[in-house]
């Protein structure tokens, strides 16, 4: 079993399942001591069990990321984070004319405001050389049937660039990864017809795996990656190229 003592500390939000879990496992493999923050208790225990099977340790912190007191407490009772991965997010489908302001508030509260609050509190204590990686979405370029999500993720991209500029003097590097369609429970929000239509637009013709995103995060969170900041890395099987599989 790897010892957690003396290791750089990483925090992965929404790391109980899906992309976040793959990121947490990858960072543990990379040598980080990893805390996984998620509100889903069962997902947290399953993530810890999967880590154990692979002879890693994931530390679970059960909290709702919109609970600022709980987030501040988590940050203050730990050593400064060497890496933060703001991965937690929510997604649902709704056509433009069915959306109401509450849909926007909910998406923004978790996808953007919680990410900002956690990052601001944590960054006050983070040291030079630390990394923040925000999980955006390819959807920031535009997508149908979820304008509130698209807008929240475009805001994550804007915030990433602004944070990169303001945190650079402290030596903290901030980047975003924008996943395309990735096979996780989040995709249950798509009807089978919508999922098939999305896959048809994919030049590679298939959804990505959570590990594809974890590989990109691993690169951006690594101590050796020390001259990249304010960037958005699209990991989307080429979907952002436009077109699709047709000629
Ligand atoms: P999942 O829904 O599978 O996992 C997200 C996890 O985050 C869940 O365990 C969820 O808990 C948790 N979470 C959500 N809100 C909160 C909160 N307020 N406090 C604590 N935990 C919370 O998502 P994915 O793994 O698919 O997605 C991860 C990220 O990647 C998201 O930001 C998503 O927008 C982004 N992304 C995903 C894509 C995909 O195709 N899967 C494509 C592009 C971007 P609970 O179950 O209780 O909600």
Determine the distance separating the centroid of ligand 1 and the alpha carbon of 88, expressed in angstroms: 5
CA of 145 to the centre of ligand 1 (A): 18
- Note if 149 is an active site residue: yes
Alpha-carbon distance of 56 to 49, in angstroms, equals 9
Q: For a ligand 1 pocket test, name from 13, 15, 19, 134 the mutation site with the most ligand atoms within 8 angstroms of its C-beta.
A: 19
Residues in CB range of 180: below 8 A, 6 or more apart: 138, 202, 207, 208, 234, 235, 236, 237, 239, 240
Of the residues 186, 204, 206, which should be mutated to test ligand 1's pocket, given the most ligand atoms within 8 Å of the CB? 186
> Average pLDDT for residues 153-170, to the nearest whole number?
98
Contacts of 104 (CB under 8 A, 6+ apart): 148, 151, 152
Label residue 2 by pLDDT band (50, 70, 90).
very low
Extract the runs of DSSP E, i.e. beta strands, from 43-107.
58-62, 83-86
- Identify the structural domains of the chain with CATH numbers, from first to last: 9-237 (3.40.50.720)
**pTM (whole model) above 0.85:** yes
CA of 19 to the centre of ligand 1 (A): 8
- pLDDT for the residue numbered 167: 98
Question: What percent of the chain has a predicted confidence (pLDDT) above 90?
Answer: 87
Name which of 220, 113, 227, 130 is nearest 177 in CA terms: 220
**pLDDT band at residue 198, thresholds of 50, 70 and 90?**
confident
Ligand 1 site residues (CB inside 6 A) read 14, 16-20, 38-40, 43, 64-66, 87-91, 110, 114, 135, 137, 179, 181-182, 184-187
User: Which of 206-209's residues contact partners 24+ apart within 8 Å by CB, and which partners?
Assistant: 206/237, 207/180, 207/181, 207/182, 207/183, 207/237, 208/179, 208/180, 208/181, 208/182, 208/183, 208/235, 208/236, 208/237, 209/22, 209/182, 209/183
pLDDT at 201: 84
Which of 24, 37, 38 is the best mutation target for the ligand 1 pocket, counting ligand atoms within 8 Å of the beta carbon and taking the most? Answer: 38
Mapping DSSP to helix (H, G, I), strand (E, B) and coil, where does residue 37 land? strand
Residue nearest to atom 10 of ligand 1 (CA): 14
132: three-class secondary structure by DSSP = strand
Question: Rounded distance, CA 181 to CA 234, Å?
Answer: 11
| Spatial distance between the Cα atoms of 36 and 22, rounded to a whole number of angstroms | 11
Residue 87, CA distances (Å) to 92, 115, 122, 213 in order: 16, 8, 15, 11
Q: DSSP 3-state assignment of 245?
A: coil
Residues 31-82: tens digit of each pLDDT? 999 999 999 999 999 999 999 999 999 999 999 999 999 999 999 999 999 9
CA of 14 to the centre of ligand 1 (A): 6
Q: Nearest Cα to 210, choosing from 8, 45, 5, 47?
A: 47
Query: Is it the case that residue 1 has pLDDT exceeding 50?
Result: no
Q: How many CB atoms lie within 10 A of CB 167?
A: 20
pLDDT at residue number 200: 87
Give the CB-side neighbour count of residue 246, counting CA atoms within 13 A: 4
């Amino acid at each position: 079993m790897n010892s957690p003592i003396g290791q750089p500390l990483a925090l992965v939000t929404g790391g109980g399942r899906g992309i976040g879990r793959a990121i947490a496992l990858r960072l543990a493999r990379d040598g980080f001591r990893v805390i996984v923050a998620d509100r889903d208790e069962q997902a947290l225990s399953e993530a810890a069990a999967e880590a154990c099977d692979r002879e890693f340790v994931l530390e679970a912190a059960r909290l709702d990321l919109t609970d600022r007191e709980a987030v501040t407490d988590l940050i203050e009772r730990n050593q400064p984070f060497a890496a933060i991965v703001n991965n937690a997010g929510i997604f649902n489908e709704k056509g433009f004319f069915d959306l109401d302001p509450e849909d926007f508030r909910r998406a923004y509260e978790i996808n953007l405001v919680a990410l900002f609050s956690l990052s601001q509190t944590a960054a006050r204590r983070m040291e030079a050389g630390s990394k923040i990686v925000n999980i955006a979405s390819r959807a920031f370029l535009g997508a149908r049937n979820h304008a509130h999500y698209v807008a929240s993720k475009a805001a994550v991209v804007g915030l990433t660039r602004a944070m990169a500029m303001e945190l650079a003097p402290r030596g903290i590097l901030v980047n975003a990864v924008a996943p395309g369609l990735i096979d996780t429970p989040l995709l249950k929000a798509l009807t089978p017809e919508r999922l098939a239509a999305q896959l048809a637009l994919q030049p590679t013709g298939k959804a990505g795996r959570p590990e594809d995103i974890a590989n990109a995060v691993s690169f951006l969170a690594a101590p050796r990656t020390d001259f990249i900041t304010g960037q958005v890395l699209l990991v989307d099987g080429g979907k952002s190229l436009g077109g699709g599989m047709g000629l």
